[in-house]
Chains A and B, each alone.
Chain A
Amino acid sequence: MLDRLVGRLQVDLLVNLTLRDLRSKYKRSALGWTWSVLNPLVAVVVYSAVFSVFLRIQPTTGDPSGLRSYAVFLLVTLLPWQFHVTSLTEATRSITANGPLITKIWFPRWVLPTSAVLARFLTLLVEMAVLLVLIAVLEGHFAFAWIPVVLTLMALQLLFTVGLALMVSAANVYFRDVQHFLGVALAPWMFLTPILYPLNMVPEDREFLGISYRTLYQLNPMVSWAKAYRNALYDLRFPSAERWLAIVMATVVVLAVGLRVFRRLEPRMAEEV
């Protein structure tokens, strides 16, 4: 009973902090929320020009959808990826940026990185909804039946990101290097995830220490999400059991480690922040 009450209070706190992030984000800017549409729009135009037109990367043909469109191919993975990047970047600073709050009021600290991720997640929900409508109107590509699968993938990605956010935000209190490291790591991470090109372009016949490039490449958990999002929204196919297994395992491990790390680093945050 008491636990449920406490849990309830933190839901209120999470909701309020998430709303704070969303409300304050585009305050005092003329274009406001247009910016959050503009960002993926510019990305898709530039990436399509460079990778599809200049470098002539061919999107796979959707199986069984038969769709062949680089823009759709790109967007179904790019939007979740941009959520990954921005929510981690914002979550990393969430505790250090709220230093005055941490040193003056006690409240469960995990809500800070979590609400930063949640705020960005709500934006992703809207973006994905807009995407589904756009590809239906422009490409005649109807992916609405796959919404439950996509929502499940998104929910798992949310938990995975929260786990990472807990780790990096807590570590950043003690070592400010973390935020800089993240900035450096996220760019190569994107290129090592099949967002701009199909997975089958990663060579299987070349080896490093006796392990094929393709196998090494798939150690990156984001590969599974990219592949699964593309299965559901581009191919219109249920992702394979291995993908689901990899995704669930990555989520469980990262969330468990994240919670542990956070609990370890939490007690002295008010002194170190």
Chain B
Amino acid sequence: MAVSLDGLGKKFRLTHDRNWTLKATMLAGHRTRYEEFWALRDLSLEVEHGQTFGIIGGNGSGKSTLLKVLAGILRPDEGTAAVDGRLSALLELGAGFHPELTGRENVYLNGAILGFTAREIRRRFDEIVGFAELDRFIDEPVRNYSSGMYVRLGFSVAIHVEPEVLLVDEVLAVGDLTFQKRCLERFAQLKAEGRTIIVVSHDLDMVGWLCDRTAWIQQGALQAVGPSSEVIDRFAIGADLTATAGDTGDGGRPAFERLSLDDLVKSVALVDPNGHPTDAVGSGRQVSIRVRYDGQAAGEPVIVALGLYRADGTHVASINSGATTSGVARSNRAPDEKAAGELVEVDYVVPALPVQPGTYELSVALHDASMRRVLERHTHILRFEVSPTGIDPQNGLVALGGTWEAR
């Protein structure tokens, strides 16, 4: 195995008031107060030699922490992480560069930091400079480099170390398209040479194209591991390994983030004007967002808040039932549903959905009546498509829904 993780755990201390000074530590006593936060917990994983392995997951899922543990930058607090073979980590390109030194001097410096000997660098120097396309500027101080030149040189050094195991963190998001393409070609070449590559990325297409196998990590725990296409599909629809086909919530659509039985919110769904659940809606058409929650378990009047986001994370709108809270809660509760433990159903009716076609995500939160306390929050719980209705093609974020009139 090129990489084997066994029960790996890494915790961080969240000090609310970081003691930067000796005096503060003395005054606070030996123990400073901090919260422990497990960025990774009980992670077991194996990557075979010669495999290209992807790691995907949302922001803050622990992907980068995992790479840093593999790279030896962070020490695990539990379990073990073993890497077999010479390792090179591309966590940040050109991290070791000194702005006042020339490109040439920095190649040797960066190479030494990555574990090269001077002789090894001398042998590959022309290749490194050639790949970075910096022949004319190699004796200029790197402070005069453009950010693209800087990154190209950093990438070129790291990629020529000839690692047996290469760790890559999101570095392909840099450089122009031509350079990105050449980077991918270089990865393919390394792959063909039988080297092990571990890629962390948000770019699911790239992971799918490059990686044989992929692991999906969420909140520091392994959600799924297997052939890339399968894992990526699972990640995209948000169902985890243990979810069964029928487990899609109460009449709603497959949940993007799964609700558990203990949650107050029982389902979130889109409902068409006829009252039928739907997973697609036309731009400018009527749609309702139906939230069901356990009114008795909440134990108090609840304000329902909704957040609408585009798939790229752009915040489109947030709405809450605060202004009309009593009205909403009461009017939507059918008289016969008042019995203990019954569900409260709330609809937010949008007469004409004013957004452009695309993929959208919905967040739901329940607040107490004062809006000061969040009872429960589900971010990106529902993902749905807004389809073009073709009446008036527009670009941008919102569908204005206007009409042209000649005068």
Interface of A toward B, CB cutoff 8 Å: 8-9, 12-13, 15-17, 19-20, 23-24, 27-28, 100-107, 175-177, 267-268, 270-271
Contact = CB atoms under 8 A, between A and B. Distances in A.
B72 A20 contact: no
Given A16-B118, A19-B109, 14 more contacts: A8-B117, A9-B117, A15-B112, A15-B118, A17-B109, A20-B98, A20-B109, A24-B100, A101-B95, A101-B113, A102-B73, A105-B113, A176-B21, A177-B21
8 contacts: A19-B109, A101-B96, A104-B73, A105-B71, A105-B95, A107-B114, A175-B21, A271-B12
Given A23-B101, A28-B100, A267-B75, A105 B20 contact: no
Interface centre among B23, B113, B118 (most CB of A within 10 A): B113
Interface in B5-22: 12-13, 20-22
B212 interface: no
Contact of A103 (B73, B101, B109): B73
Contacts of B115: 9, 107
A105 B114 contact: yes
Contacts of A24: 98, 100-101
Contact of B116 (A12, A102, A270): A12
Contacts of B73: 102-106, 270
Contacts of A101: 95-96, 113
A179 B113 CA distance: 26
Nearest to A106: B72
A28 B143 CA distance: 12
Nearest to B102: A23
Contacts of A20: 98, 101, 105, 109
B326 interface: no
Given A12-B118, A20-B105, A176-B20, A270 B68 contact: yes
A105 B74 contact: no
B381 interface: no
Contacts of A271: 12-13, 74
A175 B19 CA distance: 8
B91 A104 contact: yes
A10 to B, nearest CB: 9
The prevalent SS among residues of A at the interface is: helix
B55 interface: no
Contacts, number: 81
Nearest to B68: A270
B302 interface: no
Interface string B41-75: 00000000000000000000000000010011111
A101 B106 CA distance: 14
Q: Which 10 A-B pairs give the minimum distances between C-beta atoms?
A: A106-B72, A16-B112, A104-B95, A27-B100, A104-B92, A24-B100, A177-B22, A267-B75, A13-B112, A104-B91
Interface centre among A17, A105, A175, A270 (most CB of B within 10 A): A105
Contacts of B71: 105-106
B25 interface: yes
A27 B143 CA distance: 12
Given A24-B101, A101-B95, A107 B113 contact: yes
Contacts of A107: 113-115
A102 B68 CA distance: 11
B91 A175 contact: no
B89 interface: yes
B258 to A, nearest CB: 32
A28 B144 CA distance: 13
B108 interface: yes
A107 B13 CA distance: 24
B83 to A, nearest CB: 11
A102 B23 CA distance: 26
A105 B88 CA distance: 9
A268 B75 CA distance: 7
A28 B141 CA distance: 11
A270 B65 CA distance: 11
Nearest to A21: B98
A19 B109 CA distance: 9
Given A23-B101, A176-B20, A271-B74, A17 B92 contact: no
Nearest to A25: B100
A102 B113 CA distance: 11
Contacts of A15: 112, 118
B87 to A, nearest CB: 8
Interface in B155-193: none
Nearest to B88: A105
B117 A12 contact: yes
A15 B117 CA distance: 10
Contacts of A13: 112-113
A267 B92 CA distance: 20
Interface string B238-262: 0000000000000000000000000
A19 B98 CA distance: 11
Contact of A177 (B23, B101, B113, B114): B23
A72 to B, nearest CB: 36
A23 B117 contact: no
A175 B25 contact: yes
Contacts of A19: 105, 109
B320 to A, nearest CB: 38
Nearest to A16: B112
Contacts of B100: 23-24, 27-28
B276 to A, nearest CB: 52
A100 B99 CA distance: 14
Contacts of B105: 19-20, 23
Nearest to A269: B73
Interface centre among A13, A16, A103, A177 (most CB of B within 10 A): A16
A63 B115 CA distance: 51
Contacts of B20: 175-176
Contact of A105 (B23, B96, B98, B116): B96
